[in-house]
């Protein structure tokens, strides 16, 4: 396959593997969605493809490319995390953005099995853990809160 076609196929695969994750986040009205996730995947894939072309596939400089991707995508994911009162929201979106960067990087290196598995597990985790998260939130709302031990005359409550 000519090199240009190989590159275009890799970018298309990275896009396709990230799209379901972005769709899930968009459907849940998260801060990043159907545009952000595929862009992170194809950019990560593109950086890897450029690094291979410029540095060569066996270059030790490849590790620096991966370090930069991990840091850069982590920074993007950090922007998805918002503090809401005493809780942080957006951590699943941030983590899935990071996984999407790994998907794109894996495709760029031709590790399609790893990319496909990461895509599948990320998507299934986001979809299947939603009911568990809701149960945990419901249980937390019903709990009376922390009990402060100590004598009542000092502002504490004696445990039962």
Say what the pLDDT of residue 77 is. Answer: 82
Q: Specify the residue for token string 């760029």.
A: 108
Q: What are the Cα distances from residue 90, in Å, to 75, 93, 125? A: 13, 5, 15
Number of Cβ atoms within 10 Å of the Cβ of 148: 11
Q: What is the domain partition of the chain in residue ranges?
A: 3-154
Q: How far apart are CA 115 and CA 110, in angstroms?
A: 9
pLDDT of 48-69, one tens digit each? Answer: 999 999 999 889 888 998 899 9
Other Cβ atoms closer than 10 A to 40: 29
pLDDT higher than threshold 90 for residue 124: yes
Phi, psi for 92 (deg, rounded to 5): -65, -40
């Amino acid at each position: 396959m000519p090199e240009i076609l190989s590159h275009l196929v890799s970018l298309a695969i990275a896009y396709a593997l990230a799209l379901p994750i972005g769709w899930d986040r968009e459907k849940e009205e998260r801060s990043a969605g159907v545009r952000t996730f595929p862009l992170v995947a194809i950019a990560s894939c593109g950086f890897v493809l450029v690094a291979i072309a410029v540095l060569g596939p066996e270059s030790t400089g490849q590790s620096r490319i991966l370090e930069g991707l991990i840091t850069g995508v982590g920074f993007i994911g950090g922007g998805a995390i918002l503090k809401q009162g005493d809780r942080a929201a957006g951590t699943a979106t941030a983590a899935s953005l990071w996984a999407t960067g790994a998907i794109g990087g894996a495709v760029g290196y031709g590790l399609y099995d790893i990319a496909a598995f990461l895509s599948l597990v990320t998507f299934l985790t986001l979809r299947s853990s939603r009911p568990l998260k809701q149960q945990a939130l419901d249980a937390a709302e019903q709990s009376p809160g922390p009990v402060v031990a100590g004598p009542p005359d000092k502002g504490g409550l004696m445990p039962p």
